[in-house]
């Protein structure tokens, strides 16, 4: 199979919170039929006047104690440390009796934080700070139709690899995910924060929390492709950007060249991404096709 980064929606939606409510999740004993299952977490909570039961299991995003954190010294030079935090608090799960539901949560900070997808609804759950009863806030997230814009550049041309005319897809065997699960693949990744994004939080710990939560969600999406998203390093430009960041050409832009030339002692990742507050918008950048593990296009 050939994987390519694509944009699937007809427009780029703008997301917003449509409602919120305070809930108190209650820990339950996880059971599968009549058999108690070890290694799972189970919580019940009421959302939109309906009781839901969350079942989730632990997953790994990185090796415990071996995830380098790269920041900058006073002169902007890179320095490496390892104060990332716990690695055993990330979970993937589902909502009981709701087919195709998905839950991506972490318990790294004493409560539940993450995303719940059920039916056509999406909720974000966060711990309510300073609550003595372990209360949480649940936000419903909806797409703002009025905020939809173009998903492609005006000169975009869709690239499809068609099957040979002799192939009859109507009789092709369907391979179910359980058969593919025997052959999982791993995509190593580097998370990066530009200085403009660091200035939004002005706190390295908060930047790390944001990046790990995003990585947790990305890993959950790739699980459906039997692909594990394995984080090998976090890079935060907390003093200054190393070069001009508004040229998004890959691999010939200034940051892409800097990233390719920088010596990274932990190895070369399969892919990496950088968060930049000021761009790019969808008319300034378009991903190259068929380059997921093909350096140098997979660098940023």
| pLDDT tens per residue across span 95-115 | 999 998 999 999 998 899 999
Cross-strand pairs, 187: 229
Residue 157 pLDDT exceeds 50: yes
Amino acid 130: pLDDT: 84
> What's the mean pLDDT when you consider all of the chain?
79
Q: Which range, of 17-21, 49-53, 159-163, 165-169, averages the lowest pLDDT?
A: 165-169
Residue 103 lies inside a defined structural domain of this protein:
yes
pLDDT grade, residue 90 (50/70/90)?
very high
Residue 86 lies inside a defined structural domain of this protein:
yes
Give the three-state DSSP class for 290: coil
Distances in Å between the Cα of 35 and the Cα atoms of 47, 91, 94, 146, 174 are 27, 21, 18, 49, 32
Amino acid 298: pLDDT: 52
- 179 vs 223, more confident: 223
Residue 62 pLDDT exceeds 70: yes
Residue 97 lies inside a defined structural domain of this protein:
yes
How does DSSP classify residue 49? T
Residue 163 lies inside a defined structural domain of this protein:
no
Amino acid 20: pLDDT: 92
Average pLDDT of 65-84?
Answer: 87
Distance from the Cα of residue 256 to its chain's centroid: 21
Amino acid 266: pLDDT: 53
Neighbours of 80 (CB within 10 A): 13
Residue 27's contacts (CB-CB under 8 Å, 6 or more residues apart) are: 41, 42, 43
197-256: pLDDT as tens digits: 999 999 999 999 999 999 999 999 888 888 888 898 899 999 999 999 988 888 788 988
Residue 158 lies inside a defined structural domain of this protein:
no
Model pTM? 0.78
Contact 292, 187 (CB under 8 A): yes
- 17 vs 284, more confident: 17
Distance CA 83, CA 62 (A): 13
Residue 218 lies inside a defined structural domain of this protein:
yes
**Domain count of the fold of the chain:** 1
Average pLDDT of 174-183?
Answer: 48
Residue 172 lies inside a defined structural domain of this protein:
no
Range of the domain at 83: 13-145+178-275
Q: Which range, of 113-127, 207-221, 264-278, averages the lowest pLDDT?
A: 264-278
What's the number of CA atoms in the CB half-sphere (13 Å) around residue 48? Answer: 9
Cross-strand pairs, 230: 188
Residue 54 pLDDT exceeds 90: yes
Amino acid 42: pLDDT: 93
The token duo for 79 is 């320095």
Residue 295 lies inside a defined structural domain of this protein:
no
Supply the DSSP string of 116-141, one letter for each residue: EEETTEEEEEEE-TT-TT--EEEEEE
Give the three-state DSSP class for 117: strand
């Amino acid at each position: 199979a050939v994987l390519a980064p694509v944009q699937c929606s007809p427009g780029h939606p703008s997301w917003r919170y449509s409602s919120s409510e305070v809930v108190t999740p209650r820990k339950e004993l996880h059971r599968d039929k009549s058999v108690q299952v070890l290694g799972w977490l189970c919580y019940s909570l009421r959302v939109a006047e309906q009781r839901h039961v969350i079942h989730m299991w632990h997953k790994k995003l990185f090796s415990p104690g071996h995830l380098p954190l790269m920041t900058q010294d006073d002169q902007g030079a890179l320095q490496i440390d390892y104060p990332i935090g716990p690695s055993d608090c990330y979970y993937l799960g589902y909502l009981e009796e709701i087919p195709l539901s998905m839950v991506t949560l972490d318990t790294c900070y004493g409560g539940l934080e993450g995303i719940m997808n059920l039916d056509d609804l999406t909720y974000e759950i966060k711990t309510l700070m300073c609550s003595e009863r372990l209360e949480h806030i649940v936000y419903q997230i909806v797409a703002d139709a009025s905020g939809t814009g173009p998903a492609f550049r005006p000169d975009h041309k869709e690239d499809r690899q068609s099957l040979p005319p002799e192939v009859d897809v109507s009789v092709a065997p369907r391979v179910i995910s359980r058969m593919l699960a025997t052959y999982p693949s791993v995509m190593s990744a580097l998370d990066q924060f530009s200085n403009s994004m660091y200035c939004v939080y002005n706190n390295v710990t908060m930047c790390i929390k944001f990046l790990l939560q995003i990585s947790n969600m990305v890993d959950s999406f790739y699980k459906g492709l039997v692909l594990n998203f394995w984080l090998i390093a976090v890079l935060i430009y907390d003093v200054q950007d190393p070069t001009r960041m508004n040229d998004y050409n890959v691999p010939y832009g200034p940051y892409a060249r800097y990233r390719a030339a920088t010596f990274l002692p932990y190895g070369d990742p399969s892919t990496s991404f950088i968060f930049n507050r000021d761009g790019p918008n969808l008319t300034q950048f378009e991903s190259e096709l068929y380059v997921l593990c093909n350096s140098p296009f997979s660098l940023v």
